Amino acid sequence: MALNLTRTALGILMATATVAPALAQDQARFDPRTAPWTRPGYRLVGAGVPILFPELRDSPRGRAFVMPNFDANGDGRINRQEADDANREFARIAGPRRDRFDWDAYGRDPRGYRGGGTTVVETTTTWDRGAMRNYGFRQTPRGATLTLQEDVLFRTDSAVLRPGAIEKLRPLARYLRANPGVRVSIDGFTDSRGTDAHNQDLSERRAASVRQAFDDMDVVRARFSVVGHGERDPVATNATAAGMRLNRRVEVTLLGQRADRF
């Protein structure tokens, strides 16, 4: 009986290793310093594959660029939105001559690929631990979470970021560029004033504005999930001005990360 169980378990493991391409993305995230295309296991399936650039679809290095970074829902398939995100990011780093993109040069220089005399990637491999500590991350079941209050990011009843909000987010963007395997959840919340529909829409637009800010700072947008919760899940009473202020917030969670790292 023990022998049969062992053989059964071994068979399950072997089958899983051969039919689950999503496993590869847990083994390696795209990072030009580690050249993940040297590792086997990346293959592309899904409705978005036909619209991928040939440079991404038809080469091991292209597939290794796509799967770890742009399979946003982790289902092992590339949908049309994920393919669009991958094409957009590759076009940004490769410049006008995608067919001549030098993966080797990109891998050797993590500070930025230089092709045709133009720097088309601006990344950094360092991050400021003190600045990250100042965010006050707390440990949650999903990962390391920080809370950004409304008055730090937005004017009342607006989803337009204040001018100083970008500087507030910049150290986190630097950390995310230096740690390309970290995925992020952005969750927006409001207080209970206004209608449910208005609060839901406002929370979604605010969360999307924060993601756009990271996109503008060269953090791949496919790494983010964005959810608006409206007035649900308050952290304080909505019966007082102080409580409502606490409820108007955006939470950013580094999924699977430890808060005590910072």
Interval 216-244: pLDDT, tens: 888 888 889 999 999 999 999 999 999 99
**What pLDDT, on a 0 to 100 scale, did the predictor assign at position 198?**
96
201: left (phi over 0), alpha (psi -120 to 50) or beta: alpha
Instruction: Tell me the C-alpha distance between 25 and 16, whole Å.
Output: 14
pLDDT at 253: 97
- What is the spatial distance between Cα 31 and Cα 249, in angstroms, rounded to a whole number? 32
Q: What is the pLDDT of residue 27?
A: 33
- Give pLDDT, residue 179: 86
User: CA triplet 26, 43, 225: central angle to 5 degrees?
Assistant: 50
Q: What is the pLDDT along the chain (262 residues), one digit of tens a residue?
A: 444 434 444 343 344 333 333 333 333 344 443 444 444 457 889 999 999 999 999 888 888 888 877 777 778 889 988 888 888 888 877 777 888 887 766 554 433 333 333 323 334 457 888 999 999 999 999 999 999 999 899 988 899 998 789 889 999 999 998 888 899 999 999 999 999 999 999 999 999 999 999 988 888 888 899 999 999 999 999 999 999 999 999 999 999 999 998 8
What pLDDT sits at residue 41?
Answer: 54
Strand bridging mode 249-255 / 184-189: antiparallel
pLDDT of residue 106: 57
Res 229: pLDDT: 97
Q: Strand (E) positions, the chain?
A: 114-115, 118-119, 138-140, 143-149, 184-189, 224-228, 249-255
State pTM to two decimals: 0.57
pLDDT of 164: 85
Q: How many CA atoms lie within 13 A of 161 on its CB side?
A: 18
Q: What is the pLDDT of residues 115-139, one digit of tens each?
A: 333 323 334 457 888 999 999 999 9
